[in-house]
Structure 1
Amino acid sequence: MNKITIVGAGRVGETTAQMLAEAELCREVMLVDIREDAPQGVALDVLQTSSFFRFDTRVSGSNDPAAMAGSDLIVVTAGVPRKPGMSRSDVLEVNLGVIDGIVDNALQYAPQAMMLVVSNPVDVLTFRAWQRSGWARGRVFGQAGVLDASRMASFIEMETGFSSRDVTTIVLGGHGDSMVPLPRFCTINGIPIEHFISREKIDAIIKRTRNGGAEILSLRKNSSAYDAPAAAITSMIDAIANNRRRIMPTVAILQGEYGAEKIAMGVPCVLSEVGVELVVDLGLTAEEMALFEASAAAVRADIARL
Structure 2
Amino acid sequence: MVKAVVAGASGGIGQPLSLLLKASPLIDELALYDVVNTPGVAADLSHISTPAAVTGFLPADNGLEKAFTGTDIFVIPAGIPRKPGMTRDDLFKINAGIVQGLVEGIAKFAPKAYILIISNPVNSTVPIAAEVLKRAGVFNPQKLFGVTTLDIVRAETFVAGITGEKDPAKTTIPVIGGHSGETIVPLFSQTNPKVEIPADQLDKLVNRVQFGGDEVVKAKDGAGSATLSMAYAGFRFAEKVLKAVRGEKGIVEPSFVYLPGVSGGDAIQKITGLEFFSVPIELGPNGAEKAIDVVSSANDYEKKLLEACYTGLKGNISKGIEFVLNPPPK
What TM-score comes out, normalization by structure 1 length? Answer: 0.89
Deviation by residue 1:186-215 (Cα, 9 ceiling, x = unmatched): 24xx2x221xx4111132111111111111
The aligned residue for residue 235 of structure 2 is: 234
Structure 1 148/88 Cα, relative in aligned 2: closer, same or farther at 3 Å?
A: farther
Structure 1 132/290 Cα, relative in aligned 2: closer, same or farther at 3 Å?
A: farther
Per-residue deviation, 1:217: 1.5
The aligned residue for residue 277 of structure 2 is: 265
The aligned residue for residue 47 of structure 1 is: 46
1:116–1:142 Cα contact (<8 Å) kept: yes
In structure 1, list runs of 5 or more residues that go unmatched: none
For the residues of structure 2 that align with 1:131 and 1:218, how far apart are their CA atoms? 35
The aligned residue for residue 325 of structure 2 is: none
Per-residue deviation, 1:291: 2.6
The answer as to 2:211 corresponding to 1:211 is yes
Structure 1 290/258 Cα, relative in aligned 2: closer, same or farther at 3 Å?
A: farther
For the residues of structure 2 that align with 1:42 and 1:177, how far apart are their CA atoms? 32
Per-residue deviation, 1:149: 1.2
- Report percent identity of matched pairs: 29
Amino acid in structure 2 at the alignment position of 1:150: V
The aligned residue for residue 32 of structure 1 is: 33
1:119–1:125 Cα contact (<8 Å) kept: yes
2:253–2:281 Cα contact (<8 Å) kept: yes
2:195 to 193, 209, 226: 193
2:126–2:146 Cα contact (<8 Å) kept: yes
For the residues of structure 2 that align with 1:90 and 1:278, how far apart are their CA atoms? 36
The aligned residue for residue 166 of structure 1 is: 170
Equivalent residue runs for 1:238-249 within 5 Å: 238-243=239-244, 244=248, 245-249=250-254
For the residues of structure 2 that align with 1:231 and 1:272, how far apart are their CA atoms? 21
1:29–1:57 Cα contact (<8 Å) kept: yes
In angstroms, what is the RMSD of aligned CA positions? Answer: 2.2
Deviation by residue 1:71-100 (Cα, 9 ceiling, x = unmatched): 001111111224699997773221111111
2:159 to 119, 132, 156: 156
Structure 1 90/290 Cα, relative in aligned 2: closer, same or farther at 3 Å?
A: farther
1:170–1:249 Cα contact (<8 Å) kept: yes
1:6–1:13 Cα contact (<8 Å) kept: yes
Q: Secondary structure at the match of 1:23?
A: coil
1:113–1:139 Cα contact (<8 Å) kept: yes
Amino acid in structure 2 at the alignment position of 1:193: V
Large movers: runs of 4+ above 4 Å:
83-90
The aligned residue for residue 65 of structure 1 is: 64
Structure 1 239/285 Cα, relative in aligned 2: closer, same or farther at 3 Å?
A: closer
2:288 to 270, 276, 283: 276
1:70–1:109 Cα contact (<8 Å) kept: yes
Deviation by residue 1:232-288 (Cα, 9 ceiling, x = unmatched): 122222222122341111011122324246632221111223221111112234633
For the residues of structure 2 that align with 1:226 and 1:25, how far apart are their CA atoms? 23
Amino acid in structure 1 at the alignment position of 2:223: N
Amino acid in structure 2 at the alignment position of 1:111: P
1:247–1:268 Cα contact (<8 Å) kept: yes
Deviation by residue 1:157-182 (Cα, 9 ceiling, x = unmatched): 22232212432212111111111111
The aligned residue for residue 297 of structure 1 is: 311
Structure 1 217/85 Cα, relative in aligned 2: closer, same or farther at 3 Å?
A: farther
1:240–1:274 Cα contact (<8 Å) kept: no
Q: Secondary structure at the match of 2:259?
A: strand
2:187–2:298 Cα contact (<8 Å) kept: no
Amino acid in structure 2 at the alignment position of 1:273: P
Deviation by residue 1:91-135 (Cα, 9 ceiling, x = unmatched): 322111111101111111112212111000012111110121021
What TM-score comes out, normalization by structure 2 length? Answer: 0.83
Structure 1 238/88 Cα, relative in aligned 2: closer, same or farther at 3 Å?
A: farther
1:236–1:271 Cα contact (<8 Å) kept: no
